[in-house]
Chain A
Amino acid sequence: MSVLVDKNTRLIVQGVTGNEGLFHTTQMVAYGTNVVGGVTPGKGGEWVLDGKLPVFDSVKMAKEATDANASIIFVPARFAPDAMLEAADAGIPLIICITEGVAVQDMMRVRNYLDQKKVRLIGPNCPGLLTPGEAKVGIIPGNIAIPGNIGVVSRSGTLTYEVLYAMKNLKMGASTCVGIGGDPVNGTNFTDVLEMFEHDPKTEKVIMIGEIGGNEEERAAEYISSKMTKPVAAFIAGQTAPPGKRMGHAGAIIEGGAGTAADKVKALEAAGVKVAKHPEEIPTLLQ
């Protein structure tokens, strides 16, 4: 058991013939992920990975031929909204969008449409999912994490790698690592994932990695204090970021004093969460 992805995941890759798509498909297959097909409009009928993986013209065709139950998106930002809508319309229940730089208004339209279809979206602008030993659906390096009982959820990419690596060095493993992405409008938030971990028998403890901007960490703190029985440790990035400056992520903006690191740390600590001073300290808080 784990959340979102495991051995039973049948994954297709949208943008499979692009540079990034092909590189990461190779990595995912090498990890043991069950990748069943790829999609690139205009390249249907071709094969990639030395003739092992079929390419389809549309998600609908790929779904019909492979019975895929998840799709990962590697297409450029201007095509990503269409790719997400296409996957949802083809009846794919789980969509993971790695693409960075999707326009906010596009994401609002996509999210409102996907909600009507009851489709689960992870991302965009995220590193994807990793259930160590079972499935890697995204770009998290597979060798930095080992299987275990800690659920990890994060808004960041490389910072998540840092934490997984620190866990591995202490021989602590992850049940599933979920990168929800740093964009202001995304598919899945902290609370959604905390709820999944709370109900996942394999997950015994949880690490949450937040950052400045927005109020998802504060909402997560409410959920933790009212509903969660499993221990949670956290880290908030951007404690020293000057207010009003964008630190790369569209989501990491301090809006009118709300969403500061101090507010988030306070809310989490009040909910009984141990908050680390630096990322390498997080796993030790759960030892």
Chain B
Amino acid sequence: MKLHEYQSKTIFAKYGIPIPKGRVAATAQEAKQIADELGGRVVVKSQVLVGGRGKAGGVKLAKDSAEAEQLATQILGMEIKGLPVRKVLIDEASAIDQEIYFAITDDRAAKKPVIIASAAGGIDIEEVAAKTPEKIIKVHIDPLLGMREYIARDVAAAIDLPREYWRDFTKIAMGLYEVYKNTDASLAEINPLVITKDKKLVALDGKMMIDDNALFRQPELNEMRDTDEDAPSEIEARKYGLSFIKLDGNIGCMVNGAGLAMTSMDVIKLFGGEPANFLDVGGGASSEKVAAAMRIILTDPNVKAVLFNIFGGITRCDEVARGILVAMDEVKPKVPMVVRLVGTNAEEGRKLLENAKMITAETLADAAKKSVEAAKKGK
């Protein structure tokens, strides 16, 4: 789950990381009022869950509150990479001497958290990483020990931070690690961490991603979820604990297991079709879950055929067949259905579907071919 800049920075502040004064606004009037409170000279920043906001014109400097209002009107009407801007953050403007990049993230290969830092922070950090990787510092943290002050000092030295800032930098580094650890973040990023003209370190921008698997112990963060980015069908799927991603093709897919679901998409494509979605009903799927999955697939008007590929293990094929029957009764689908049941209770499952007028298949390749043919006829 991604957090907005304003959400990330609010969390940073709780852990003693200095952030600019500011507040979030949903209307231009609010933006003006906040700008007035901050003394007029502010930055108006779109709050959308994509990178490259500045380059898309979603971050602008206002010299007074009237201009802040005008810029807020303009930015609140924008779409950035397809996402509507619903909120703007109004921050006091900072006079900047230097921009630093500082983040903590998971290094899955090393099985440890890693600090990534660079003296060349700012919006071009990815270019810096690609063209001059020697300017990027990476230091691993032992997850059993956590961040230590000497590690923070080593990082400060490695990015040539003047010694007068080391004490503040260490506090920020310790704070950011606590943020990363306590919120179960997979990314806690400050970019840029700036040195201001009046010689202070301030986290000007922030980005966080939270591990979805840890949300059970992060109820406050769970409430911050912004679903703007997700298709309505994806939100509906989440309710039923289904893993679903909408795609652009015309063959709906329902499969158990993520690997097999991806593979079913691959095989559809191999035989000349285009999958309409990725859908993993998960292990041990109940008939209610299967019925919900089928409703979600069939609400997509592009779907011209549906492929069911179920390899029973924990999941029982008869349970899946019951779910299919419930959903068919309810939705009365008009598109052809190709079904392949193998494994636990497959025979019972096939019997249940005998009268359901479905196309059956023995192998995955056969099932994919039949669904591609069926979708072509359905056009």
Give the B-binding residues of A (Cβ under 8 A): 20, 24, 77-78, 100-109, 111-113, 127, 139-141, 144, 154-162, 165-166, 182, 184-185, 209, 211-212, 214-215, 235, 237-242, 245-252, 277-280
Contact = CB atoms under 8 A, between A and B. Distances in A.
A111 B111 contact: yes
Nearest to B212: A250
Contacts of B267: 278-279
Given A158-B256, A248-B261, A248-B278, A184 B108 contact: yes
A248 B112 contact: no
B260 A162 contact: yes
Nearest to A143: B343
A182 B259 contact: yes
Contacts of B363: 166, 280
Contacts of A162: 260, 263, 311, 342, 364
B158 to A, nearest CB: 22
B343 A141 contact: yes
Contact of B260 (A103, A158, A242, A280): A158
A155 B186 CA distance: 21
Contacts of B263: 156, 159, 162, 235, 237-238, 278-279
A159 B266 contact: no
A151 B81 CA distance: 46
A105 B214 contact: yes
Contacts, number: 166
Nearest to A261: B266
A112 B140 CA distance: 13
Contacts of B142: 112
The 10 closest A-B pairs by CB, nearest first: A156-B259, A248-B258, A158-B257, A159-B259, A103-B214, A184-B108, A248-B243, A158-B260, A238-B262, A108-B143
Interface residues of B, number: 51
Contact of B266 (A105, A111, A166, A239): A239
23 contacts: A20-B284, A103-B184, A103-B214, A104-B108, A104-B213, A105-B106, A107-B111, A108-B143, A112-B143, A155-B259, A156-B260, A156-B263, A157-B257, A158-B257, A160-B259, A211-B259, A240-B262, A240-B275, A247-B258, A249-B258, A249-B259, A278-B365, A280-B365
Contact of A277 (B184, B270, B312): B270
B interface, over-half SS: mixed
Interface string B246-259: 01000000011111
Contacts of A212: 262
A139 B365 contact: no
B138 interface: no
B86 interface: no
B186 A104 contact: yes
Contacts of B342: 161-162, 165
Interface string B229-251: 00000000000000101010000
Contact of B258 (A101, A107, A156): A156
Given A165-B342, A248-B262, 20 more contacts: A104-B214, A144-B343, A157-B257, A157-B313, A162-B311, A162-B342, A165-B311, A184-B106, A184-B108, A209-B259, A211-B259, A239-B269, A240-B266, A242-B245, A248-B243, A248-B261, A248-B280, A250-B211, A278-B266, A278-B368
Contact of A280 (B275, B284, B364): B364
Contacts of B212: 250
A159 B108 contact: no
B320 to A, nearest CB: 12
B243 to A, nearest CB: 4
